[in-house]
Amino acid sequence: MDPLRNSSNASISLLMRRNANSSMTEANNLMKNTYSPADMTYVLLSCVVVFLVTPGIALYYAGMIRKRSALSILTQSFLVTAVIMVQWYLIGYSLAVAPGSSFYGSLSLGGLHNVWFDPYVPGSTIPAIVYFPFGGLFAVTTAQLLIGAMAERGRLVPSLVIAFLYITFVYCPQAYWTWSSKGWLFTMGALDFAGGGPVHISSGFAALAYSFVLGRRREPSFSDDSTNSADDYSSSNTCNSSALLPWGSVRWKNSLGRGHIPKYPPHNPAMAYLGAVLIWCSWLTFNSGTLLAINLRTAYIFANTLISSSFACVTWVAMDYVRYRKISILGVSEGAIAGLVGITPGCGHVYPWGAAVAGMFTAVVCNLLHDIGNWLSIDEPLRVFNLHGIGGVMGSIVLGVVAHPNVAASDGATVIQGGWIVRHWVQMGYQFASFTSVAAWSFVVTAIICLLVDMVPGLQIRCTPGEEEQGMDYIDLVEQIDEKASPANIRVIQAQEVEEPIGTSITTKKQ
């Protein structure tokens, strides 16, 4: 007889026969002596509000692209939420949280194995089962930000596979580096309170890699521009084209070098605005819930998030007005999001005036680099790289300057050295190591994931030219917003959409 097998079977049998009275006694003792009902309530309530990021990002992205691909973005956002929560349950939570090496967690908590009444971390006032959904929604948000890079030319099912692999091999190790007591960035001394690196910088640089591998969108087939002709894709101009090579769908010559990037006005700015409102709302608890407790520091975090986003919104709009003598509803939305991104890494470490600085600095840089995708000749239509990648880096830099130990200590437990403002000069070096390592790992590993998925038969990541001309809603979904979206009428519709209206506004000018 195998003694190890007998021991394992005995443990399983003991678990299955666990006495209900002893479980109730254990739970009551923990609630009385260890866990805080107020902290548990706030974290679970934060989960509900943070879930609004799913429709928020979906509406924001769908409103910014052409009508015939909007429903695919909405559908994808919903599916990404479900797929990533499955991943988080099976392996993600364990890889990001369970003690392992300095680089990666272990699989000891996979499937919530061994998660019973234990605290999230030793000394925590909430159990692990309360943190599980909250941490999972962080992973969901990161994947949703990334997957917007496939807009208008990426296939739906392969994008879900890419999201699953990205969270497994990019987000989970980076979350472990940043927040685990054994993570190499954490032990080094890098600061990142709520995800400037694992969420924003990671998704921004990953979106740049995804867009780079996918290549630029093509112009309508009636266009005289030859840069993105059908010959670049080795396919015909017909809408019924389905010529995908068996080993992949992407063409490097469509990504490398200078080339024309199509510019299309958003089909519904009001939808994008509504999405931004939901994102702003959810981010208030995204940041404050990260403390996993209710105390004075929670109030600082909540206030800092609101202050930074407000200052950034005003700064962005002021810059637009100075440059164009007009403002834009998308500019208002992008400004608020820039402020949310800029304060995320430092919301629990800076005074309110530092939050204002973070918001304004991030808004100025992201506004000036609004067209960085065009400068790089990478077609990234939703500007995830600009707002989240660059914005996250700016937030980390500001944190290295204005982080103050008094704010961190306002929860009665946290001790940090602070930033330059308290003459802790080496902190900026820690921040530099943090955002450069996260950015490089995200870009390289995501590009590799995209290329490998594209080589799997049936999982080509890019649609054919004919399918792109029809729109991704027509290819992937039963429903379409535009009832005219058919092969016979598609060229007429595209001609109407790309025609520049009289008195072009700042929104069109900046796209």
Residue by residue, pLDDT tens for the chain (511 residues) are: 444 444 444 444 444 445 666 666 666 666 656 789 999 999 999 999 999 999 999 999 999 998 888 898 999 999 999 999 999 999 999 999 999 989 999 999 999 988 877 888 888 899 999 999 999 999 999 999 998 888 888 999 999 999 999 999 999 999 999 999 999 999 999 999 999 999 999 999 999 999 999 988 877 654 433 333 333 433 333 333 344 555 567 765 556 656 678 888 898 999 999 999 999 999 999 999 999 999 999 999 999 999 999 999 999 999 999 999 999 999 999 999 999 999 999 999 999 999 999 999 999 999 999 989 888 888 888 999 999 999 999 999 999 999 999 999 998 888 999 999 999 999 999 999 999 999 999 999 999 999 999 999 889 999 888 888 888 888 888 877 765 554 444 444 444 444 444 444 344 444 4
Radius of gyration of the chain (CA): 24
Burial class (CB in 10 A: 0-12, 13-18, 19+), 504: exposed
Domain 42-236+248-510 matching CATH 3.30.9.10: the answer reads no
Global confidence as pTM? 0.85
User: From CA 218, how far away is CA 465, in angstroms rounded?
Assistant: 8
- Residue 99, number of CB atoms within 10 A of its CB: 13
SS (H, E, C) 61-127: HHHHCCHHHHHHHHHHHHHHHHHHHHHHHHHHHHHHHCCCCCCCCCCCCHHHCCCCCCECCCCCCCE
Tokens 């999972």 sit on residue = 136
What are the boundaries of each domain within the chain?
A: 42-236+248-510
User: From CA 196, how far away is CA 198, in angstroms rounded?
Assistant: 6
User: From CA 501, how far away is CA 59, in angstroms rounded?
Assistant: 24
* Contact criterion met (CB below 8 Å) for 479 and 71: yes
User: From CA 266, how far away is CA 185, in angstroms rounded?
Assistant: 40
Tokens 């941490």 sit on residue = 135
